[in-house]
Amino acid sequence: MIVRPLLQGDARAALEARRAAVRHSAARDYYSADILEQWAPPPITDEAITKFLENPDGEVRFVAELDGKIVGLAAIAPLNCELQACYVAPEAGGKGVGTALLLALETEARKRGLPFLKMDASLNAESFYKARGYEVRSRGEHLLRSGQRMACVHMQKNLPSNT
């Protein structure tokens, strides 16, 4: 497995991995077709790729590859100390891809001097993050870019420096 920074040419494959992860893993917790359609709409269009590459939140993004195929996408928004994404395609589940992506994000956050990472975790991801040291702060709602609200778990992990 390789975890590396996202390149412009990776956008479609990264968004496809994200879409597959949402459609497969989140469907059991998010029963509303509206939520799934707006969180991970089909198909991945050129317009969606352009918007993703515009990167309005200044995200630092990583992808994971297995056998030359992008199977994961992760991102932080350093200005907000926010973990924005950590998605693993279903075919790569259980192979350490999510953990490797999360470690890359945390390493990057520490390099940038971030004291913590916070997030609005999806319901299906809560146990993954808890097992890696993230603590539940509260339960609430996350607002998707479309305006659709979805249930989430507000979580945070302190990142002591390595010095």
| CATH number of the 2-114 domain | 3.40.630.30
- Averaged pLDDT, 79-107: 95
Give me the phi and psi of 81, to 5 degrees please.
55, 40
Query: Which is more confident, 39 or 68?
Result: 68
Give the span between the Cα atoms of 4 and 54, in whole angstroms.
Answer: 19
Identify the pLDDT of residue 62.
Answer: 98
Give the span between the Cα atoms of 59 and 75, in whole angstroms.
Answer: 6
Closest C-alpha among 10, 129, 126 to residue 73: 10
Give me the phi and psi of 78, to 5 degrees please.
-60, -35
pLDDT confidence tier of residue 105, bands split at 50, 70 and 90: very high
- Averaged pLDDT, 78-84: 96
What average pLDDT does the structure give for the chain? 90
pLDDT confidence tier of residue 67, bands split at 50, 70 and 90: very high
- Can you give the pTM of this predicted structure? 0.89
- Asked whether the predicted pLDDT for residue 154 surpasses 80, the reply is yes
Identify the pLDDT of residue 33.
Answer: 65
Identify the pLDDT of residue 42.
Answer: 76
Identify the pLDDT of residue 34.
Answer: 67
